[in-house]
Chain A
Amino acid sequence: MTITVIKPGLQSTIQSRPRVGLRYQGVPGGGAADPLSLALANRLLGNEWDAPALEATLLGPTLRFDRECAFAVTGAVAVVTLNGDEIQAHESRTASAGDQLAIGAAEIGARSYIAVTGGFAADEVLGSSSTNLQAGFGGLQGRSLLAGDVLRCDSVVAESARTPDEFRLPMSSTWALRTCIARETDLLDDDSLDHLFNTNWTVARRADRMGVRLEGPRLAVSSDGRMPSAGVIPGTIQCPEDGSPYVLSVDAGTVGGYPRIAQVARVDRHVLGQLRPGDHVRLLRREPDDAVTELRAKLAYWREWLPDIDEVL
């Protein structure tokens, strides 16, 4: 069956799992910027956690179902309507032929995920169906949705399911990210190191799938700012010449030439996909082994609802 895109939203893409192990060829992981919300949407439909779903950014799309279709919406707090009537996130339901689903402007958080039973048909490239916007591959022709696009999926009627309250990922405008020191943290002077972990940072306008710029006190690094290009991953915090920390996200380049001053721990990397301009962020300093302990505790918690959580986070 088909789903027609009536309005594409600000930036809606098909996303699935990341591409793993290809950074040495310059291919970033990509995939859902908030993989936990992707997994939660797919869970409501009995899908594998990484079934290709729509990732909407700040303002979501309006979609028309051409036949009956079970779907679910998770992620950012936004008004979701079916034929104009408000419906709840974190509940699967079945749309009828001709129904229109609209995801409104995100009020808290940045990204919503819209899943359908079995996932959307998508181009699989280099081991994943996720859209890479920079290189233009994966998903729907490697690009974000346009009005008039036709998406394909199975027509399935499903029993309604709800995410248990304790597994509804809370959205916020103030976030705390557990963070370790990184390879070039020692290039920060004492004041800057203090600022790094004790500032209530503001998310700048530049916040997308490539990365998130943090505004606050200007950090000083004792170098000319440029270093020989070296490996980076999502959560790596660089300090460019302007002194504003830049947190790399899922689509960032695979190597970088700016000092790596901190590293968001794996336990909290999924949060990067929900940061929006104006949000506040604190970086909580953690010793690496403590961050690993907290990761394992978080995985153990989520495993009850998401058995594949080890692949999600």
Chain B
Amino acid sequence: MLTRCGDDLFSITTESPQDAQALASHVRDSGDWLEVIPGIDSVVLQFDASTYDGDDVRQTMESVLAAGIKPLQISSSLVEIPIVYGGEYGPDLGALCEATGMSAEDVIALHTASEYTVDMVGFTPGFAFIGGLDERLHVPRRKEPRQRVEAGSVGIADGRTGLYAMASPGGWTLIGRTPYKLFDPHAKPPFVLEAGMRVRFKAISADEFDG
């Protein structure tokens, strides 16, 4: 569904984060856009209203959608992300254990058992939404977001794992932290993770974090 949602914005509803990413990357390559922003179940497009008319943009997008979109390429390489679980690195692990009735060891074993896919990057630079969380770990966001969550923090909420590439306010249940630098503005590319990448988590000790 294609909806005008502002003077220079359209929104397209998609079935899944993968569809949103596939559509976004197709659209980004095939047109002159100011922003193409994939979400969890949508893509928001910003066009240059000084040059283009909304009706023309709508027609172009309708024919793009009618022609069909190639599915997202899931990358073949697997990124392993080391995490120190619990303690000062994951201050909400205890609360999560209480909420789920699992031990910390069970939670860690469950979280490190699967392979995941990055659904989306956004909110703050490099923040990765990683889908595929085991249902036993589904918890809502915290009612009171934290004013500051440290860079590298690993949170879970709404069926996803979130990786904080940089310090920011945040409302996810924090279970650990990675020493990986997920965002370096001076590196090329500046972001370690992008949508479609396959990810696995690995438990490490606090000593390994500091080392």
Contacts and interface: CB of A to CB of B under 8 A. Distances in A.
B155 to A, nearest CB: 14
Interface stretch (A17-25, A50-58, A79-87, A100-108): A17-25
A26 interface: yes
A296 B6 CA distance: 16
A20 B46 CA distance: 11
A143 interface: no
A249 to B, nearest CB: 15
A159 interface: no
B194 interface: yes
B128 to A, nearest CB: 9
Nearest to B119: A229
A182 B34 contact: no
B6 A182 contact: yes
A292 B49 contact: yes
Interface residues of B, number: 49
Interface residues of A, number: 47
Interface in A1-59: 20-21, 23-27
B126 interface: yes
Contacts of A182: 5-6, 9
A21 B36 CA distance: 7
Contacts of B37: 23-24, 230-233, 254-255
B8 A255 contact: no
Question: What is the interface of chain B mostly: helix, strand, loop, or mixed?
Answer: loop
Nearest to B143: A241
Contacts of B3: 183
B33 interface: yes
Contacts of A226: 141
Interface stretch (A110-118, A132-140, A196-204): A132-140
A220 B51 CA distance: 36
Contacts of B168: 134
Given A24-B121, A229-B39, A183 B5 contact: yes
A27 B125 contact: yes
Nearest to A286: B7
B5 A299 contact: no
B5 A229 contact: no
Contact of B123 (A132, A255, A313): A255
B123 A253 contact: yes
A146 B139 CA distance: 42
Contact of A136 (B7, B53, B123, B166): B166
B34 A21 contact: yes
A26 B124 contact: yes
A228 B54 contact: no
A125 interface: yes
Contacts of B8: 265-266, 288, 292
Given A24-B38, A25-B191, A231-B38, A292 B125 contact: no
Contacts of A144: none
A97 to B, nearest CB: 35
A26 B126 contact: yes
A20 B11 CA distance: 18
Nearest to A224: B140
The 5 nearest A-B residue pairs measured at CB? A231-B37, A231-B44, A263-B6, A228-B40, A230-B39
7 contacts: A21-B33, A180-B6, A180-B7, A229-B39, A230-B40, A254-B123, A289-B54
Interface of B: 3-9, 11, 24, 28, 33-44, 46, 49-51, 53-55, 120-127, 129, 141, 165-166, 168, 183, 185-186, 190-191, 194-195
Interface of A: 20-21, 23-27, 125-126, 132, 134-138, 180-183, 226, 228-233, 235-236, 253-256, 260, 263, 265-267, 286, 288-289, 291-292, 295-296, 299, 310, 313
